[in-house]
Amino acid sequence: MKPENPILYCDVDGVLNALGGQITGLDYDSWGDFEMTEGAGFPLFLSQKMAKAIIELPVEHRWATIWRNEANVTISPMLGWPQLPVLTEPNPIAARKGGYNFKHFGVLDEISEEQRPFIWMDDEAIPYDHSALDELGVNYLLIEPDAMTGVTPADIESIKYWLATGEQPYLPNRDADSKDS
């Protein structure tokens, strides 16, 4: 992996683990191969096709999840992934400031130091106010999947487009929200 490759921060629940698949009778399988399993005592609805599409992206993969290193112990082996670096947690007092999720400050800290482009896939931690991310002075892409479906093939295509062009893809959910404001 070349150090100039962008970083991809990946959450587990609502991103890899499609929460809708855990609700009996609902079909949220956008990849066609989701399987229900269990890890660390929790139900997981995972897709090997999704996992392959993500891990094959030319990025440096990192976990940014409440699972912390348990993602390496439980999720990585299930998906056939190597052990990944885990997002460094910031000072817990600073992380509570402004009501942001701890991942927000962890991403800010790491990118401030490394000054590299990044992709952040998270169903809930991505801040509505992007000004702190904009101030980092690097190109970034935010993928905020519906927690019921997790990452979709369209999300992967958006990432590939961004990697190839550096331009923001049209993301219907985000772009529709910004037109309403």
Q: Return the biggest CA–CA distance within the chain.
A: 46
Tell me if 113 is assigned to some domain.
yes
- Host H or E run for residue 42: strand 42-46
Give the range of the structural domain holding residue 113, as residue numbers without chain letter: 7-180
69 within 8 A of 89, measured Cβ to Cβ: no
Tell me if 1 is assigned to some domain.
no
Backbone phi, psi, residue 134, to 5°: -60, -35
What is the domain-level CATH number for residue 162? 3.40.50
Reported as a pLDDT band with limits 50, 70 and 90, residue 172 is low
Tell me if 154 is assigned to some domain.
yes
Tell me if 85 is assigned to some domain.
yes
Residue 24: CA count within 13 A, CB half-sphere: 0
**Distance (Å, rounded) from C-alpha 43 to C-alpha 78?**
13
Tell me if 141 is assigned to some domain.
yes
18 within 8 A of 47, measured Cβ to Cβ: yes
Tell me if 52 is assigned to some domain.
yes
Burial environment of residue 169 by CB neighbours within 10 A (0 to 12, 13 to 18, 19 or more): middle
What is the total count of domains within the chain?
A: 1
Tell me if 14 is assigned to some domain.
yes
Which two structure tokens, joined as six digits, stand for 73? 């112990």
**30-77 confidence digits (pLDDT tens):** 898 988 888 988 889 999 999 999 999 999 999 999 899 999 999 999
Q: Which of 9, 10, 16 is nearest to 111 (CA)?
A: 9
- Host H or E run for residue 118: strand 118-121
8 within 8 A of 57, measured Cβ to Cβ: yes
**77-91 confidence digits (pLDDT tens):** 999 999 999 998 766
Residues in the chain: 181
Which two structure tokens, joined as six digits, stand for 28? 């949220």
Global pTM value: 0.87
**Distance (Å, rounded) from C-alpha 47 to C-alpha 23?**
16
**92-104 confidence digits (pLDDT tens):** 555 555 656 778 8
Beta bridge partners of 17: 13
Tell me if 2 is assigned to some domain.
no
